[in-house]
Chains A and B, each alone.
Chain A
Amino acid sequence: MLTPEETEALLLSLRVSGVAVLGAFPFALGLGLLLARPGFPGRGLLNGLVHLPLVLPPVVMGYLLLVALGTRAPLGAWLLESFGIRLVFTWEGAALAAGIVTLPFQVRAIRLALEAVDPGLMQAAETLGAGPLDRFVSVTLPLALPGILAGAMTAFAAALGEFGAIITFVSNIPGETRTLPLAIYTAIQSPGGEAAAARLAALSIALAFAGLGLAEWLAARARRLTAP
């Protein structure tokens, strides 16, 4: 039903998106925790920075990554020389681009999930003998978890569709950086590729629906848990 190249593109997409979401998660959690803190100074600025990828053209994100992490850029050169890490033209680079572009989805979901936890429950836990970390692990996290997972799921679905930042930063290399959207683009560009493009597009739509459905289910669970 799918050609080997198409299967490769599908599996690559799942891997790139999975690594993107998991890799960005610790940062998203940290940012979400900071932004959920009412007294945190510089909250507005940080909030703006985190949401920048949502409004910036993805091509610009890809361009910025290329400028910062290209093998001749200082940071990129240092990574290559010190650790042998090359991000340009690799699937890891694609994951980095997708992770940054979909970070706002995760941060936003985490922040909202944390803010939805009733502070009164924290006080109750406090009077019952729980310290700050204990309260976070035993009350905040379990109550916020469905919301956090829903955010991760949304980010995963969005990462599957990332095109501009990936093609700009890591190009369109079959088997390495040619994810589903890039494969669709390539098929449309090639003579006689319409059928392949249609198949891959249908596949993308199905994946997006599955991802959003799962996210919706998790969010519903979150609402049930945090309802008073």
Chain B
Amino acid sequence: MSGGLSVEIAHALARSPGRGGAFALDIRFEAPAEGVTALFGPSGSGKTSCANAVAGLLRPDAGRIALGEEVLFDAARRRHLPPRRRGIGYVFQEARLFPHLTVAANLDYGARRSPRAPGAAERGRIVEMLGIGGLLARRPAGLSGGERSRVALGRALMSGPRLMLLDEPLAALDAGRKAEILPYLERLRDETGVPILHISHSLDEVTRLADRMVVLNAGRVAATGSVEEIMARLDLFPLTGRFEAGAVIAGRVEAADAGMQLSAVGFAGGRLLVPRIAAAPGTPVRLRVRARDVLLAVQRPQGLSARNILAVRIAEIRAEDGPYADIRLDCAGTPILARITQAAVAELGLAPGRMVWAVIKTVSIARASGSGARGRAG
């Protein structure tokens, strides 16, 4: 993957006192030179340590990190490029704006020190893109949480980074603020062309923003792949969140029924009726269908309010702890997941290979992103 990020590190992390022992970080993954790669995992899985290693704030015990042609870290050759020479825009969870400087001076801080800093026109575009033009004379103490996040994004971008590292930039914000920032992150992804490593433990964010996922668990990489691939894997349910887990389906808007406030989204396996998406036909979209919102029927159901009834083949059944069974369905090549009870599996005689009907309520389908599935839909 030329131009991309290649990470291969091992590190013995001293744990907080009292817990004893040391837990090893052993992480290998590659992220392409474009788009958003999510580093996803529960708290304590090593996400931030990994990000710090990429940025150079943490020096791993062993391994190698390269960005494109440049080796940032190589334990064997004792190479450790200091953070200031890595050209990585790190956006920290708590924004970390300089409190004694105005917003304008904060934005200038990296720009003045970087050989790759963008020109005035590009900087103006960044300010406009993030909507921070009105804040330039203010100080960080007077900004809202969302405004701070946007300024932190701008400050990192102004240094002309070769890679943006976002460490849960939304985690410290309440739901309303998150909704305020997400569109800016989408614009960052779609308009700047800077590859992004997005650290998150929120599936919502990941499915909305990321193209690829690196799933971390206890300091190890549990899986890597496209968001659609990862979300379709039953064995990752414990990590992708049992309750929130479900397939992510990439498709394109086909037609909208403005009167009924519905849109049809075509995907490889058919089409789904979803709550109206305000986008032109042909726009790629990504849909999240949570496993617990999918119903199975052995005969084509009649007289149902649900708008989506798809013919699918059962690909895999996994019995889970408790009363649940997770089922991967093959809808003409596109995976859809369903979570039903083991009792239902037994009563209906469900088994891999069997054709059934998947019933999905239109109202349960959420649009994950505007254009996260660029070019890969259909």
Q: Do A and B come from one complex?
A: yes
The chain A residues found within 8 Å of chain B, CB to CB, are 118, 120-121, 123-131, 134, 138-139, 142-143, 224-228
**B6 proximal to A (CB < 8 A):** no
Most chain A C-beta atoms within 10 Å of own C-beta, residue among B82, B84, B89, B155: B84
Stretch binding the partner chain, chosen from B109-117, B221-229, B348-356: B109-117
The answer to whether B82 and A126 touch across the interface, beta carbons within 8 angstroms, is: yes
Q: How far is the CA of A121 from the CA of B90 in the complex (A)?
A: 12
17 pairs, CB–CB < 8 Å, chain A vs chain B: A123-B57, A123-B96, A124-B98, A127-B55, A127-B56, A127-B57, A127-B89, A128-B114, A128-B155, A129-B84, A129-B113, A130-B113, A139-B98, A143-B100, A226-B99, A227-B99, A228-B94
Please give the distance in Å from B303's CB to the nearest CB on chain A: 59
Interface residue from B99, B100, B141, B159 paired with A129 (Cβ < 8 Å): B159
Whether the pair B99, A225 counts as a contact (CB closer than 8 A) is yes
- B18 CB → nearest A CB, Å: 19
Q: B118: CB under 8 A from chain A?
A: no
Complex interface: chain B residues within 8 A of A225 (CB): 99-100
Q: A126-B84, A134-B113, A225-B100 are in contact. List 14 more A-B contacts (CB 8 A).
A: A118-B96, A123-B83, A123-B96, A124-B90, A124-B92, A127-B84, A127-B89, A128-B84, A128-B109, A130-B84, A130-B113, A142-B100, A226-B99, A228-B99
Known contacts A123-B57, A123-B83, A227-B141; is A128 also within 8 Å of B113 by CB?
A: yes
Residues of A with C-beta under 8 A to B10: none
Q: 8 Å CB contacts to A: which residues of B243-260?
A: none
A125, A129, A134, A142 interface centre (most CB from chain B within 10 Å): A129
* Chain A residues within 8 Å of B360, by CB: none
Given contacts A120-B92, A134-B113, A227-B141, contact A126 B57 (CB under 8 A): yes
Is B88 an interface residue, CB under 8 A from the partner?
yes
Instruction: Say whether, besides A143-B99, A226-B99, A128 and B94 are in contact (CB < 8 Å).
Output: no
Query: Whole-angstrom distance between the alpha carbons of A33 and B86 in the complex?
Result: 28
Give me the 7 closest cross-chain CB pairs, A-B, nearest first: A129-B113, A128-B110, A124-B96, A127-B90, A126-B83, A129-B84, A142-B100
Point out which of A123, A128, A143 has the most chain B C-beta atoms below 10 A from its C-beta: A128
Find chain B residues with CB under 8 A from A128 CB. Answer: 84, 109-110, 113-114, 155-156, 159
How many chain B residues sit at the interface, stated as a range, is 20 to 34
**How far, in whole Å, are A188 and B55 apart by their CA atoms in the complex?**
68
Q: A residues within 8 A CB of B90? A: 123-124, 127
| B103-146 interface code vs A (CB 8 A; 1 in, 0 out) | 00000011001100000000000000000000000000100000
Q: Which A residues touch B92, using CB under 8 A?
A: 120, 123-124
Output the residue of A120, A127, A143, A227 with the most chain B CB within 10 A. A127
Give B155 Cβ to nearest chain A Cβ, in Å: 7
For residue B113, give the distance in angstroms from its CB to the closest CB of chain A.
3
Q: What B residues does A126 contact at CB under 8 A?
A: 56-57, 82-84
Could you tell me if A131 and B84 are in contact, using CB atoms closer than 8 angstroms? yes
Which residues of A are found within 8 Å of B55, using beta-carbon distances?
Answer: 127
Enumerate chain B residues within 8 angstroms of A130, measured Cβ to Cβ: 84, 109, 113
B221 → chain A closest CB, angstroms: 24
Q: How far is the CA of A152 from the CA of B284 in the complex (A)?
A: 64
Question: When chains A and B are docked, how far (Å) is the Cα of A138 from the Cα of B105?
Answer: 11
Q: With both chains docked as a complex, state the minimum distance between the C-beta of A133 and any C-beta of chain B, in angstroms.
A: 12
- Tell me how far the C-beta of A125 lies from the nearest C-beta in chain B, rounded to whole angstroms: 7
Asked if B88 and A127 make an inter-chain contact with CB atoms under 8 angstroms apart, the answer reads: yes
Contacts of A124 in B (CB 8 A): 90, 92, 96, 98
Known: A128-B109, A128-B155, A134-B113. A121 touches B98 (CB 8 A): yes
How far is A174 from B372 in the complex, measured between Cα atoms in Å?
A: 83
| A225 CA / B99 CA spacing, docked (Å) | 6
Partner of B83, one of A120, A127, A142: A127
How far is A227 from B56 in the complex, measured between Cα atoms in Å? 27
B99 touches A120 (CB 8 A): no
Q: How far is the CA of A123 from the CA of B96 in the complex (A)?
A: 9
- A121 to B94, alpha carbons, bound, how many Å? 10
Q: Please measure, in the bound complex, the distance between the C-alpha atom of A125 and the C-alpha atom of B109, giving whole angstroms.
A: 8
